[in-house]
């Protein structure tokens, strides 16, 4: 084996191990904060359009889009687009353009019942040389040829193509921004520092093209965007989370999550339900319950996921049913994690209510280093 080939394999393995280590430390909340990084604090007012952009004074940040699409022959598809920005805490005083100050990570996935499983791809790169970046001021994120850009009129453009599939989508807001938690201060645990700044944009109207086997297919549908940033995030006793964001048929929007503890039970929970008039009802941890109604065991990792879920928010009962069971996303070559991320339909009090996405993390343990 020649030296260049050996070095390429060694460099990839080192990068994978570094990402796994960084995310493990982040999830456990054991990575020391520095004076350079800012904490998330209550009472801070989010301002737009500035907060659509990157926040480089915080440890971790992501832009996350999920949605349901329909082809011209009425076939359903689900999609996920995620861009991460991660501060490495290295070389921030180094003037070199080669200094790896930030990592950019991206995932793209397509849930296609015709394929019977999730199609997905991932990339990781250090920020720099206009090849990978997350810019402040407005949403403008790039990783090689993959891009997510917010135009001045609020419309988002996604272009993410792989050898097997791709997305070229335009996503137009139809509702105002939904500030999660206390005006954008979203708690994730009992301690005040266990929080993020968090807003959502539900009911994005989607048009564009899905590419499958290099063949373009016109699609339309609706999507949900989350944007979060933080420096400290989870309780050290947290083992993972269950999350749902859903666009409801009457124009309402639902977001709910629970953070599970390592010894069982929930560390924290939260939900917000905005009605068609724009009024938001928030639910406290004791008002939110996630109860599995059916599980699926992955043939890829043997992890068991609660892919069908009953959720209670106050007096409201929701039932989530997956578009297909095999929506497991293996991101061990980028974020170092395996999780289930799937399109689901919702009923409310046993009546059809809407469509959304369910995320299940922590059901597969991290790789041993």
Domain boundaries, the chain: 3-30+45-360
Q: How far is CA 164 from the centre of its chain?
A: 22
Q: For the residues of 296-309, what is the DSSP string, one character each?
A: EE-TTT--EEEEEE
| Confidence label for 68 from pLDDT (cuts 50, 70 and 90) | very high
249-266 burial, b if ≥16 CB within 10 A, otherwise e?
Answer: eebbbbbbbbbbeeeeeb
Dihedral sign of CA atoms 350, 355, 357, 363 in order: positive
User: For the chain, how big is the Rg over CA atoms in Å?
Assistant: 20
- CATH fold of 3-30+45-360: AttH-like fold (2.40.370)
**What span, in angstroms and rounded, lies between the C-alpha atoms of 14 and 35?**
28
Residue 84 has pLDDT above 50, yes or no: yes
pLDDT at 368: 45
pLDDT at 35: 59
**What span, in angstroms and rounded, lies between the C-alpha atoms of 46 and 345?**
31
| Confidence label for 197 from pLDDT (cuts 50, 70 and 90) | very high
Check if the beta carbon of residue 85 is closer than 8 Å to that of residue 334.
no
pLDDT digits (tens, 9 = 90+) for 38-65: 899 999 999 999 999 999 999 999 999 9
**Which range, of 15-29, 203-217, 225-239, averages the lowest pLDDT?**
15-29
Mean pLDDT: which of 4-8, 307-311, 327-331 is highest?
A: 307-311
Please name the residues in contact with 102: beta carbons below 8 A apart, sequence gap of 6 or more: 56, 85, 86, 87, 88, 126, 127, 134
Residue 33 has pLDDT above 90, yes or no: no
Residue 200 has pLDDT above 90, yes or no: yes
**What span, in angstroms and rounded, lies between the C-alpha atoms of 322 and 307?**
6
pLDDT at 285: 96
pLDDT at 22: 43
Top pLDDT among 334 and 98 is at 334
pLDDT digits (tens, 9 = 90+) for 275-285: 999 999 999 99
Q: How many CB atoms lie within 10 A of CB 109?
A: 24
pLDDT digits (tens, 9 = 90+) for 93-150: 545 444 457 799 999 999 999 888 899 999 998 877 789 999 999 999 999 999 999 9
Nearest to 120 by CA among 135, 136, 108, 111: 108
* Paired tokens of 361: 């993390």
* Paired tokens of 115: 């394929």
Specify the pairing of strand 215-230 against strand 195-212.
Answer: antiparallel
| Confidence label for 18 from pLDDT (cuts 50, 70 and 90) | very low
DSSP assignment letter at 163: S
pLDDT at 90: 55
With a pLDDT cut of 70, the percent of the chain lying above it is 84
pLDDT at 27: 42
Residue 9 has pLDDT above 60, yes or no: no
pLDDT at 23: 45
pLDDT digits (tens, 9 = 90+) for 231-263: 876 777 788 899 999 999 999 999 999 999 888
pLDDT at 73: 93
**Which range, of 9-13, 163-167, 334-338, averages the lowest pLDDT?**
9-13
pLDDT at 190: 84
pLDDT digits (tens, 9 = 90+) for 279-306: 999 999 999 999 999 999 999 999 999 9
């Amino acid at each position: 084996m020649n030296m260049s080939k050996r070095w390429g394999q060694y460099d990839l393995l080192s990068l994978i191990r570094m990402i796994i280590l960084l995310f493990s430390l982040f999830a456990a909340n054991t990575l020391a904060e520095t004076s350079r990084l800012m904490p998330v604090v209550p009472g801070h007012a989010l301002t737009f359009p500035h907060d659509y952009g990157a926040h480089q004074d915080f440890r971790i940040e992501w832009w996350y889009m999920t949605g349901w699409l329909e082809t011209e022959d009425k076939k359903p598809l689900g999609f996920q687009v995620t861009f991460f920005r991660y501060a490495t805490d290295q070389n921030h005083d180094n003037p070199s353009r080669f200094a790896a100050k930030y990592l950019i990570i991206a995932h793209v996935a397509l849930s296609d019942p015709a394929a019977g499983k999730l199609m997905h791809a991932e990339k990781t790169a250090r920020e720099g040389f206009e090849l990978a970046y997350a810019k402040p001021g407005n949403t403008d994120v790039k990783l090689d040829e993959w891009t997510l850009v917010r135009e001045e009129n609020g419309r988002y453009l996604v272009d993410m193509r792989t050898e097997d599939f791709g997305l070229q989508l335009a996503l137009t807001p139809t509702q105002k921004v939904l500030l999660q938690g206390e005006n954008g201060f979203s708690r994730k645990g009992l301690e005040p520092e266990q929080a993020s700044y968090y807003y959502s944009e539900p009911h994005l109207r989607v048009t564009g093209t899905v590419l499958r086997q290099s063949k373009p297919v016109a699609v339309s549908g609706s999507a949900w965007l989350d944007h979060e940033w933080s420096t400290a995030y989870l309780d050290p006793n947290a083992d993972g989370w269950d999350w749902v964001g859903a666009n409801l048929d009457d124009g309402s929007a639902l977001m709910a999550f629970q953070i599970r503890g390592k010894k069982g039970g929930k560390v924290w929970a939260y939900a917000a339900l905005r009605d068609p008039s724009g009024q938001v009802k928030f639910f406290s941890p004791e008002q939110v319950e996630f109860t599995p109604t059916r599980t699926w065991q992955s043939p890829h990792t043997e992890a068991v996921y609660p892919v069908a879920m009953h959720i209670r928010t106050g007096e409201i009962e929701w039932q989530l049913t997956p578009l297909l069971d095999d929506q497991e996303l293996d991101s061990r070559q980028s974020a170092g994690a395996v999780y289930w991320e799937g399109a689901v339909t919702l009923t409310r009090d046993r009546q059809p209510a809407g469509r959304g996405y369910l995320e299940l993390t922590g059901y597969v343990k991290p790789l041993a280093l």
